[in-house]
Amino acid sequence: MTITWTSGYNINESTPLVKWGPKGKKLVQSPAVTLTFGRYSVCGSPASTVGWRDPGFIHTSFLKNLWPNLKYTYRLGHLLPDGSYIWSKLYSFKSSPYPGQSSLQRVIMFGDMGKAERDGSNEYSNYQPGSLNTTDQLVKDLENIDIVFHIGDITYANGYLSQWDQFTAQVEPIASRVPYMTASGNHERDWPNTGSFYDTMDSGGECGVLAQTMFYVPAENRAKFWYATDYGMFRFCIADSEHDFREGSEQYKFIEHCLATVDRQKQPWLIFAAHRVLGYSSDYFYAQKGSFEEPMGRESLQKLWQKYKVDIAFYGHVHNYERSCPIYQSQCVNSERSHYSGTVEGTIHVVVGGGGSHLSKFSDVAPTWSLYRDYDYGFVKLTAFDHSSLLFEYKKSSDGKVYDSFTISRDYKDVLACVHDGCEPTTSAN
């Protein structure tokens, strides 16, 4: 488990540490590392000018050798030069199941949440009106949540750095209890002439520095925000849509490696996620382009989703909710709507970008592959009961109730079964 917090202490002013252990047992101390960055690290204005604020110091501690599925308690601390300690309040978390291990496993997925003000003093244009509702529903249901994925457009600080602290304070009740995993979006990364795949100014000059330092993800290189992570029966392959993902790119190789290296007998639930819609969306913006996707999105990636039999692909970026049929090359490959069983014939694509930022309209006509569309704020909850049974629920942020759902029931042999463009070779030799 990785614990991250910020303080005003540099390494010569205090030694950061975490005191932790299984609930009710002896606590041990683990060291924490310290990172920061200066104004020279960000790429442009407002991040480097009127939006700049000294970020302080970002501390991260890696708690190792955890017993699976056990409740732990912890405190953040600093050892001061005079020998005294200062401690945070007591927090707790439940450790992750070992990859492949069966237990009740519940995953939250959404994008584009941002932050808002509880005192009603709104940022100009009230840009993320659904944000507090989403946060509050997750906090309310936290006993029944094991891990959270916020797939890009995290804070919408857009170069006003203090807004990262506003955001982390808002999600602290969640992020201090369960793993809060992130993906990189245009509002984290994009800035002209800095290597982002899109040449927009959406990060307000942050060019990824804030996201890559404030949030730990198990990427080989956090400046390239793609990573694989396991949670019990789930394998997550998290892409970075702000870097090149086309065939032949470094990221494409990573995605194939992530999908190919999962043992589906142990981890049957294979999830792909990216910020921009690399699969299917009938959002007005994508429909207008005629592609129903981010240009160049699925052309090369759909081969991988099909070959490695990805169950569900999640996206944000457009601020609404939409679920597709199991689909391959724009064709539904299964006519079921609410219960899927047996062979995985295609990937279900889900846009869950209604975390909080102002809503985005759909095209007037829904394509046949679009099974459910909702112009509202919400998030998705996945519940894996065991290796054969998965429940998908879409909940609105306003009331926390389920508005769309489906189940998947299948066994290992169904994952191995031959499907169109996804067959393992056989030989006639015997």
Give the binding site for Fe ion (CB under 5 A): 153, 185-186, 317
Between the alpha carbon of residue 209 and those of residues 123, 159, 187, 226, 324, the distances in Å are 23, 10, 11, 15, 34
- DSSP state, residue 30: E
CB of 137 to Fe ion, least distance (A): 21
The strand pairing partners of 269, in sequence order, are: 234
Using the minimum distance from each CB to Fe ion, give the nearer residue, 283 or 393.
283
Name the minimum Å distance from CB 277 to Fe ion. 10
Retrieve residue 227's tokens.
């990573």
CB-nearer residue toward Fe ion: 57 or 314? 314
Residue of minimal CB distance from Fe ion? 317
* Least CB distance to Fe ion at residue 276 (A): 7
In the bound complex, what is the minimum distance in angstroms from residue 182's beta carbon to Fe ion?
A: 13
Three-state DSSP at 302 gives helix
Shortest approach of Fe ion to residue 112 CB, angstroms?
A: 6
Instruction: Return the C-alpha torsion angle 48, 51, 54, 56, nearest 10.
Output: -120
Q: How far is the CB of 225 from Fe ion (least distance, A)?
A: 13
**Shortest CA distance to 250 belongs to which of 223, 273, 289?**
223
Q: Which is nearer to Fe ion, 154 or 408 (CB)?
A: 154
* Cβ distance to Fe ion smaller for residue 14 or 184: 184
Distance in angstroms (rounded) separating the CA atoms of residues 352 and 183: 13
Residue 196 CB, shortest distance to Fe ion, in Å, is 12
Specify the length of the chain in residues. 430
Q: Tell me whether residue 294 or residue 414 sits nearer to Fe ion (CB atom).
A: 294
Between 153 and 311, CB nearer to Fe ion = 153
**Residue 356: CB minimum distance to Fe ion, A:** 12
Q: Where are the beta strands (DSSP E) in 36-176?
A: 57-62, 71-79, 85-87, 91-94, 105-110, 147-151
- 198-203 contact pairs (CB < 8 A, 24+): 198/242, 201/44, 202/158, 203/43, 203/47, 203/158, 203/159
Closest CB to Fe ion among residues 186, 212: 186
**77 versus 378: smaller Cβ distance to Fe ion:** 378
420: number of Cβ within 10 Å: 12
d(CA 228, CA 304) in angstroms, rounded, equals 15
Neighbours of 189 (CB within 10 A): 30
Report angle CA 163, 165, 169 to the nearest 5 degrees.
120
Least distance (Å) from Fe ion to the CB of residue 111?
Answer: 7
Nearer to Fe ion, 105 or 203 (CB): 203
Identity of the residue, 153 or 294, whose beta carbon is nearer to Fe ion in the bound complex? 153
Least distance CB 245 / Fe ion (angstroms) = 15
* CA 159 to each of CA 130, 167, 217, 243, 317: distance values in angstroms, whole numbers, following the listed order: 21, 13, 21, 20, 18
Task: Give Cα 111 distance to the centre of its chain.
Answer: 7
Give SS3 for 212: helix
